A = this chain, B = another copy of it.
Amino acid sequence: MALEFEQPILELEARIRELNEYAEEKGVDLGDEIELLQRKLDSLQKEVFSGLSRWQRVQLARAPGRPTTLDVLQTIFEDFTELHGDRAFADDPAIVAGIARFAGRSVAVAGHQKGKTTKDNIHRNFGMPHPEGYRKAMRMMDLADRFSMPFISLIDTPGAYPGISAEERGQAWVIAQSIQRMGRLRVPAIAVILGEGGSGGALAIGVGNRVLIMENAWYSVISPESCAAILWHDASQAERAADALRLTARDLKELGVVDEIVKEPAGGAHRDPQASMRELSKTISATLEELSGMNPDELLQDRYRRFRGMGAFDSG
């Protein structure tokens, strides 16, 4: 399941492991050889991961083993209590939601959920919500406002589900409503792009006072594959599309679309989920701290100002 550009690194790591085992088993000293390989590994890692292309980062954002919303909720939050249902049509497993404690205070949370196995992924619809999912998220926003709890969203979706069932239950309407509802929160709102930030389906829960992004996550108006299919009638041009779309964390920071990049371990979050979640926890914590001084009206205004300023044009 390794990504193509990870391959040489994984092979080198395996060889070092083997040598270590051999040395221990046989009681021979291979210290020099191992050190040499280790140094080679370090420089290889540096070479591979410092020069990651946008398209490679998209692949890291999708890597199996990368922390999912539930991983985050169960690891860096306490007392996570999942709440289900939209009170209208169904419970959508593509979005998980609930209440929890973060750094000692109660919060409401919602995020896209992908599966870890094929079966789980089918159950989660690959993290592509139906309208019910967004209505569930909006219920959490209501709870957040009602009980003065910050609202934290975790974004990890290829996009809202583009199928008949979703269309006929108002996918466009519910995304618009969710954007509006989140914009109206009278409590601190933080959006975290965890993995994939696919278009309106991501933005629906992305209207934070602050928007954080994991180093190898992406966020775009369209997935690179779909973009390539439209522009060049060829989905294999996705690499080119990824560049054109400027969809990486650093690109988005430059464009002012995200506020903060959460560092991932070399090789991506899936190579050390615990460390990357600790890093995320620190950043959320600092961001909450920063927002805690604002009253409800200030939070509303701050959020409006943030999104009001988005865009590039010439007013000459």
Task: Judge whether A308 is part of the interface by a CB distance below 8 angstroms.
Answer: no
The quantity of this chain's copies bound in the complex is 2
Binary contact track A122-140/B, C-beta < 8 Å → 1, others 0: 0000000001000100000
Q: Are B87 and A89 in contact, with the CB atoms below 8 A?
A: no
Cα-based distance from A33 to B131 in the complex (angstroms):
72
- State the Cβ distance, A91 to closest chain B Cβ, in Å: 12
Task: Judge whether A31 is part of the interface by a CB distance below 8 angstroms.
Answer: no
Cα-based distance from A135 to B89 in the complex (angstroms):
12
Task: Judge whether A313 is part of the interface by a CB distance below 8 angstroms.
Answer: no
Within 8 A of B (CB), among A57-80: none
For A89, what are the chain B residues with a Cβ–Cβ distance below 8 Å?
A: 88-89, 169-170
For A135, what are the chain B residues with a Cβ–Cβ distance below 8 Å?
A: 88
Cα-based distance from A170 to B87 in the complex (angstroms):
7
Within 8 A of B (CB), among A198-251: none
Q: Are A87 and B173 in contact, with the CB atoms below 8 A?
A: yes
Cα-based distance from A88 to B173 in the complex (angstroms):
8
Within 8 A of B (CB), among A161-219: 169-170, 173-174, 177
For A88, what are the chain B residues with a Cβ–Cβ distance below 8 Å?
A: 88-89, 131, 135, 169-170, 173-174
For A131, what are the chain B residues with a Cβ–Cβ distance below 8 Å?
A: 88
Cα-based distance from A87 to B86 in the complex (angstroms):
14
For A169, what are the chain B residues with a Cβ–Cβ distance below 8 Å?
A: 88-89
- State the Cβ distance, A305 to closest chain B Cβ, in Å: 24
Q: Which residue of B lies closest to A177 (CB)?
A: B87
Cα-based distance from A149 to B169 in the complex (angstroms):
29
Q: Which residue of B lies closest to A132 (CB)?
A: B88
Q: Apart from A88-B89, A88-B131, what 12 extra A-B contacts exist at CB < 8 Å? A: A87-B170, A87-B173, A87-B177, A88-B88, A88-B135, A88-B169, A88-B170, A88-B173, A88-B174, A89-B89, A89-B169, A89-B170
Q: List 14 A-B contacts (CB under 8 A).
A: A87-B170, A87-B173, A87-B177, A88-B88, A88-B89, A88-B131, A88-B135, A88-B169, A88-B170, A88-B173, A88-B174, A89-B89, A89-B169, A89-B170
Q: Which 3 pairs show the lowest CB-CB distances between chains A and B?
A: A87-B173, A88-B88, A88-B170
